């Protein structure tokens, strides 16, 4: 496991077979921590019960669950917002059952011609109407002109809208998303903390695309457009568990985990 001065470092395991046994997938990668889906990331169905719930809850490996990408609780479209709230609650319940530390969900967006304040208000209604059994970790996103969590000014408005519920939420910082979203990584941790007061999880990803592209395409470390020093700087400054959501399966993620450990001064023991 990681030393006291180095964060836990792990990976998101996304193939269906690996989701069926995330602990084995974590062991393959030498991961200290693991993130996975409980169901189809592009689907609206309730996640099925986990037959390994007791084993997962008893594991020493910290678990994080990523909610489906389709969730958008900010939208004014009732046909998306209402099902989004429903499956967010369903995933939170199952994530708590398996002992997950948090449920990661994207900030969402409103329509191009709509007032973003409506989206921030819709986020507040989520916590006014539902009780969640674990922290909901809101993740910054890469694109969209009316996104709730692309730019720091929007994140500040979101956190203001959620005043009174800050004990129910956390922040997940994605390096690729901030790079693609147009926020400088060299100072982003300090600026996030000034708004949220916390960073609960880091998604450490290189980016295939240039700064402020608005495109969410992850790359393995050193093969994309993010300077390694900037990526390492975020990890060091955030002081939170790290999930590599990088491509190329076991080999690619193992290499990225080892690279982080090498540069952060921690060897796997």
C-alpha to C-alpha distances, 60 to 23, 55, 99, 144, 176, nearest whole angstrom: 10, 10, 10, 38, 29
Check pLDDT > 80 for residue 266: no
Report d(CA 4, CA 115) in Å as an integer.
Answer: 45
- Whole-model pTM: value is 0.96
Secondary-structure class of domain 9-264 per CATH: alpha beta
Mean pLDDT lowest among 1-10, 34-43, 165-174, 227-236 = 1-10
Average per-residue pLDDT for the chain? 95
* The pLDDT of residue 2: 52
- The DSSP 8-state label assigned to residue 151 in this structure reads S
- Separation of CA 127 from chain center: 19
* The pLDDT of residue 269: 44
- The DSSP 8-state label assigned to residue 244 in this structure reads E
**Left if phi > 0, otherwise alpha if psi is -120 to 50, otherwise beta: which for 212?**
left
* The pLDDT of residue 16: 79
* The pLDDT of residue 268: 52
Q: If DSSP states are collapsed to H, E and C, what string results for 168-217?
A: CEEEEEEHHHHHHHCCCHHHHHHHHHHHHCCCCEEEECEECCCCCCCCCC
* 3-class DSSP assignment, residue 136: strand
Q: How confident is the model at residue 19 (pLDDT cuts 50, 70, 90)?
A: confident
Q: Which two three-digit tokens encode residue 172?
A: 């997940």
- Give yes or no for a contact between 235 and 189, defined as CB atoms under 8 angstroms apart: no
- The DSSP 8-state label assigned to residue 163 in this structure reads T
- What percentage of residues in the chain have a pLDDT greater than 70? 97
Check pLDDT > 60 for residue 3: no
Once rounded to an integer, what is the mean pLDDT over residues 237-250? Answer: 97
Check pLDDT > 80 for residue 11: yes
pLDDT digits (tens, 9 = 90+) for 96-105: 999 999 999 9
pLDDT digits (tens, 9 = 90+) for 118-146: 999 999 999 999 999 999 999 999 999 89
Check pLDDT > 70 for residue 178: yes
Check pLDDT > 80 for residue 27: yes
CB neighbours (10 Å) of residue 267? Answer: 10
Report d(CA 237, CA 189) in Å as an integer.
Answer: 6
| Length in residues, the chain | 269
* Radius of gyration for the alpha carbons in the chain, expressed in angstroms and rounded: 17
DSSP letter string over 49-113? PPTTHHHHHH-SS-EEEEPPTT--TT-S-HHHHHHHHHHHHHHHHHHHHTT-SEEEEE--B--TT
């Amino acid at each position: 496991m990681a030393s006291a001065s180095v964060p836990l470092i792990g990976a998101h395991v996304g193939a269906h077979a690996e989701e069926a046994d995330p602990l084995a997938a974590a062991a393959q990668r030498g991961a200290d921590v693991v993130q996975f889906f409980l169901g189809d990331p592009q689907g609206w169905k309730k996640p099925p019960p986990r037959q390994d719930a007791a084993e997962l809850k008893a594991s020493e490996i910290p678990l994080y669950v990523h909610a489906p990408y389709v969730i958008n609780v900010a939208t004014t479209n009732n046909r998306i917002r209402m099902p989004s709230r429903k499956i967010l609650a369903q995933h939170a319940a199952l994530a708590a059952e398996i002992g997950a530390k948090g449920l990661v969900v994207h900030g969402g967006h409103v329509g191009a011609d709509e007032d973003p304040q409506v989206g921030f208000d819709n986020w507040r209604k989520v916590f006014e109407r539902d009780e969640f059994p674990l922290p909901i970790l809101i993740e910054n996103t890469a694109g969209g002109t009316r996104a709730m969590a692309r730019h720091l000014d929007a994140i500040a408005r979101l956190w203001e809208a959620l005043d009174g519920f800050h004990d129910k939420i956390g922040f997940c910082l994605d390096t690729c998303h901030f790079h693609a979203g147009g926020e400088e990584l060299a100072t982003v941790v300090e600026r996030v903390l000034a708004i949220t007061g916390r960073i609960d999880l880091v998604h450490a990803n290189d980016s295939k695309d240039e700064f402020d592209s608005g495109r969410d395409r992850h790359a393995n470390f050193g093969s994309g457009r993010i300077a390694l020093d900037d990526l390492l700087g975020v990890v060091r400054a955030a002081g939170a568990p790290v999930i590599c959501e990088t491509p190329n399966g076991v080999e690619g993620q193992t290499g990225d985990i080892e690279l982080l450990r090498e540069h952060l001064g921690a060897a796997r023991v």
